């Protein structure tokens, strides 16, 4: 489990809290198991921002948090939002630091383009303005709280910085506006050879939705370099991280106006973040695009986690089913810090922010149950660090008509995706790429540069790829695909299923050729573990020689192999692809009594493809004493021995029994929970009583069972013509089993 609780109250400083108030509030949170706290100056705060009185209050919070055993304090870099002004001080003290915009107006039948300023917001593409913001905010915090930087204080949160934050004081509304920085016209000319002002005027005349898309990378690079990189560099130098989120994450065009290219900008944060303040969790309302941008940035930073600001505009009475659902949705996209917005010190701010309640204050009745909720939050944070498995890649293009709608359609079809920028290489394990332009959707095997379908219908596009198959899927009992769940698959085999319908259902997971029935409750989360298998013997493949002593083997992947040749009752002499095989090693890896009867030849790494083996002498190939067997890893088709299957999984609170879905002969299965044996089952029903102490807990589950020894012999009568072969096949031939099936479980 995580060593630190990932739930973080977004602690709004309201009123004028005394040390007594601070102790009472932080004590309540610690008693509820919370270990992190974000200090958030906002509406209702009666302390002058960044004054001595304000900084003394923040210092008291850090002192008491340290004394009470908090493990992390997070700072907030603005009063309210958007970040970048130090409560409007930066642009007011120096008008040259005011945000700049290009605005277009219709004047006398022509289009006039002008440079305007926002006098109450900072120019975040001006390095000097951002430097001043750092001096007034970050440096002041460090001067007062520096002894905690890198220990108790983990990072600083920036909230919705925006290069498109246009201010219009009641004058004529422009028909077009875009963030601007000094030098943009020259950069545009160097990139395109055109005149920016003329191109904007021509574009506005031609279309009411015009935007100069060639400016997008220029704006993004400037925003990233001047604001994100400069602040992140400061944070790195002071042993903390930059986190937070950007403005307008939910749609491509709004994100373009606010950030240039949101993926470029967000990827600069060491702990990238998003906000999801409304908590819409139905299939047609969840913010798929917002979370996907975070996932992209998180993976660019090495999959070291991210942060989500959650629930700020939710109901007063969010139930725990909804809370659990959302934590797991965030974790499914790589987010492992969950900011609980808002947790006001007192309700004074409610007279200013009238529309919504602060749902995570220290005095809500259900706070004491947060200790239990933290267990599931820790598991979601663990899953955030797992390697995710993607079926398809989607190119993020800022002029896509409905990229959000595309991602929703993929989710409905249980297809997993990752975003790519235009210049990102396609990962080797992703077969298909979707690209959205302003009027079409292209599905292609991009490595071949051959678009296979051009349409705006996702279903039609996917029908062009017959090989597109889901490695696992959730269906109703009649076999119909469930279209209102969210599925996350992981490379270790784990499957996470999250309800997006808000009702209880009986469903079936199809995985590994098996059907696993389960009940998915309203807002429920079901985790199917990725089982780890350990084997006490090598995997094998019997070599079946035909009547002339020839066998063809097909190796699917390059792998290191050995060949065991019998040297009893006739020594087998074998060539492989024309080369004589010399068995000069003692045999290890077969059942113990067979090892002395064989010698090993080390074949090294055998290439993928077909290989020819020939038996060069008359050594008999006995049905139950094969002349030759390949030994190697799990890519070989057969196994005989003992198996240990293990995984950490959640034992449901209401589970009375654990039952296996399928069994591998001979059928002996022993179950261990957290190292304690619950007994061996030899015959059906294969089920065990769940101990009371593990219900509702994440536990280490282990199965130990046997394979059938028949796997070693393969199809022993294959191609044989002995007179009594028919009788032998009927009476003595084993039921051939290549490998033991993974035991899937259901809780009852």
pLDDT digits (tens, 9 = 90+) for 102-121: 999 999 989 999 999 999 99
Q: Rounded distance, CA 8 to CA 180, Å?
A: 36
Residue 400 has pLDDT above 80, yes or no: no
135 Cβ contact list (under 8 Å, min separation 6) = none
Query: pLDDT class for 452, splitting at 50, 70, 90?
Result: low
Task: Give the CA radius of gyration of the chain.
Answer: 32
Query: pLDDT class for 306, splitting at 50, 70, 90?
Result: very high
pLDDT digits (tens, 9 = 90+) for 130-148: 999 999 999 999 999 999 9
Burial class (CB in 10 A: 0-12, 13-18, 19+), 321: middle
Residue 317 has pLDDT above 90, yes or no: no
Residue 467 has pLDDT above 80, yes or no: no
The stretch 348-352 carries a mean pLDDT of: 88
Angle formed by the axes of helices 138-145 and 52-68, nearest 10°: 50
pLDDT digits (tens, 9 = 90+) for 62-114: 999 999 999 999 999 999 999 999 999 999 999 999 999 999 999 998 999 99
Query: pLDDT class for 734, splitting at 50, 70, 90?
Result: low
pTM equals 0.90
- pLDDT value of residue 169: 66
Residue 708 has pLDDT above 50, yes or no: yes
553 vs 436 pLDDT, higher one: 553
Cβ distance 389 to 490 under 8 Å?
yes
Cβ distance 127 to 230 under 8 Å?
yes
Q: Rounded distance, CA 28 to CA 746, Å?
A: 38
Residue 173 has pLDDT above 90, yes or no: no
H helix intervals, 587-630: none
The stretch 276-296 carries a mean pLDDT of: 93
Q: Rounded distance, CA 124 to CA 78, Å?
A: 14
The domain 7-87+124-165+215-384: what is its CATH number?
3.20.20.80
Report how far apart, in Å, the C-alpha atoms of 343 and of each of 153, 155, 336, 350 are: 19, 19, 19, 12
- pLDDT value of residue 1: 43
Q: What proportion of the chain, given as a percentage, has pLDDT over 90?
A: 74
Domain residue spans in the chain? Answer: 7-87+124-165+215-384, 392-527, 535-637, 641-711+740-747
pLDDT digits (tens, 9 = 90+) for 210-239: 999 999 999 999 999 999 999 999 999 999
3-state secondary structure of 82: coil
CATH level 2 (architecture), domain 535-637: Sandwich (2.60)
Q: Rounded distance, CA 663 to CA 686, Å?
A: 8
Q: What proportion of the chain, given as a percentage, has pLDDT over 70?
A: 92
Strand partners, 571: 567
246 vs 375 pLDDT, higher one: 246
Which of 136-140, 395-399, 504-508 is the least confident region? Answer: 395-399
pLDDT digits (tens, 9 = 90+) for 606-626: 999 999 999 999 899 888 899
């Amino acid at each position: 489990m995580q060593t630190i609780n990932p739930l973080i109250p977004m602690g709004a400083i309201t009123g004028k809290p005394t040390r007594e108030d601070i102790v009472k509030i932080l004590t309540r949170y610690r008693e509820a198991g919370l270990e992190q706290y974000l200090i958030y100056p906002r509406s209702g705060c009666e302390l002058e921002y960044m004054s001595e009185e304000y900084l003394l209050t923040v210092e008291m919070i850090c002192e008491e948090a340290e004394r009470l055993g908090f493990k992390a304090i997070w700072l907030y870099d603005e009063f309210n939002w958007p970040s970048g002004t130090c409560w409007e001080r930066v642009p007011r003290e120096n008008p040259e630091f005011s945000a700049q915009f290009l605005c277009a107006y219709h004047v006398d039948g022509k289009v006039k383009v002008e440079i305007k300023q926002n006098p109450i917001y900072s120019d975040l593409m001006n390095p000097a303005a951002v430097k001043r913001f750092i001096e007034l905010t970050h440096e002041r915090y460090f001067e007062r709280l520096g002894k905690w930087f890198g220990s108790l204080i983990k990072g600083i949160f920036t909230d919705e910085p925006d290069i498109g934050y246009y201010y219009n004081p009641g004058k004529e509304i422009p028909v077009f506006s875009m963030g601007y920085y000094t030098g943009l016209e020259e950069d545009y000319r160097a990139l395109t050879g055109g005149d920016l002002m003329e191109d904007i005027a021509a574009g506005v005349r031609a279309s009411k939705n015009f935007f100069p898309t060639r400016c997008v990378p220029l704006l993004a690079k400037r925003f990233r370099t001047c604001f994100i990189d400069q602040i992140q560099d400061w944070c790195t130098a002071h042993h903390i991280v930059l986190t937070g989120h950007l403005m307008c994450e939910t749609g491509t065009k709004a994100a373009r106006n606010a950030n240039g290219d949101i993926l470029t900008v967000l990827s600069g944060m060491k702990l990238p973040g998003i906000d999801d303040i409304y908590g819409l969790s139905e299939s047609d309302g969840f913010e798929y695009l917002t979370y996907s941008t975070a996932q992209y940035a998180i993976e660019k930073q090495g999959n070291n986690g991210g942060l989500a600001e959650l629930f700020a505009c939710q109901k007063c009475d969010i139930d725990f089913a909804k809370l659990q659902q959302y934590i797991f949705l965030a974790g499914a996209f790589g987010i492992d810090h969950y900011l609980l917005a808002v947790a006001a010190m007192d309700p004074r701010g409610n007279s200013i922010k009238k529309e919504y309640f602060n749902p995570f204050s220290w005095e809500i009745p259900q706070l004491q149950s947060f200790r239990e909720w933290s267990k599931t939050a820790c598991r979601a944070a663990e899953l955030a660090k797992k390697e995710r498995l993607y079926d398809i890649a989607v190119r993020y293009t800022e002029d896509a008509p409905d990229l959000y709608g595309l991602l929703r359609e993929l989710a409905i079809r249980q297809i997993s995706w990752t975003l790519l920028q235009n210049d990102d290489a396609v990962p080797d394990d992703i077969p298909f790429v979707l690209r959205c332009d302003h009027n079409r959707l292209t599905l292609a095997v991009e490595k071949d540069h051959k678009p296979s379908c051009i349409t705006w219908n996702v279903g039609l596009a996917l029908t062009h790829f017959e090989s597109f198959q889901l490695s696992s899927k959730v269906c109703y009992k009649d076999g119909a695909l469930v279209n209102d769940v969210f599925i996350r698959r992981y490379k270790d085999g784990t499957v996470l299923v999250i309800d997006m319908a808000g009702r209880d259902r009986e469903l079936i997971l199809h995985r590994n050729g098996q059907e696993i029935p389960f009940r998915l409750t309203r807002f429920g989360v079901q985790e199917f573990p990725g089982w780890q298998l350990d084997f006490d013997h090598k995997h094998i493949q019997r070599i079946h020689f035909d009547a002339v002593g020839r066998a063809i083997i097909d190796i699917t992947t390059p792998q290191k192999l050995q060949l065991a040749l019998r040297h009893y009752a006739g020594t087998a002499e074998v060539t492989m692809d024309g080369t004589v095989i010399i068995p000069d090693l003692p045999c290890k890896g077969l059942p113990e009594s067979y090892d002395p009867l064989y010698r090993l030849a080390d074949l090294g790494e055998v290439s993928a493809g077909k290989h020819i083996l020939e038996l060069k002498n008359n050594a008999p190939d006995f049905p139950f004493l094969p002349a030759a067997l390949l030994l190697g890893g799990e890519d070989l088709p057969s196994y005989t021995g003992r198996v240990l299957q293990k995984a950490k999984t959640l034992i449901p609170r209401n589970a009375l029994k654990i039952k296996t879905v399928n069994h591998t002969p001979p059928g002996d299965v022993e179950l261990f929970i957290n190292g304690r044996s619950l007994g061996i089952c030899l015959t059906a029903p294969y089920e065990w009583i769940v101990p009371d102490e593990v219900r509702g807990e994440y536990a280490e589950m282990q199965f130990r069972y046997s394979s059938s020894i028949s796997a070693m012999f393969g199809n022993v009568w294959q191609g044989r013509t002995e007179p009594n072969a028919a009788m032998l096949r009927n009476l003595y031939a084993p039921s051939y089993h290549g490998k033991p099936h993974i035991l899937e479980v259901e809780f009852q």
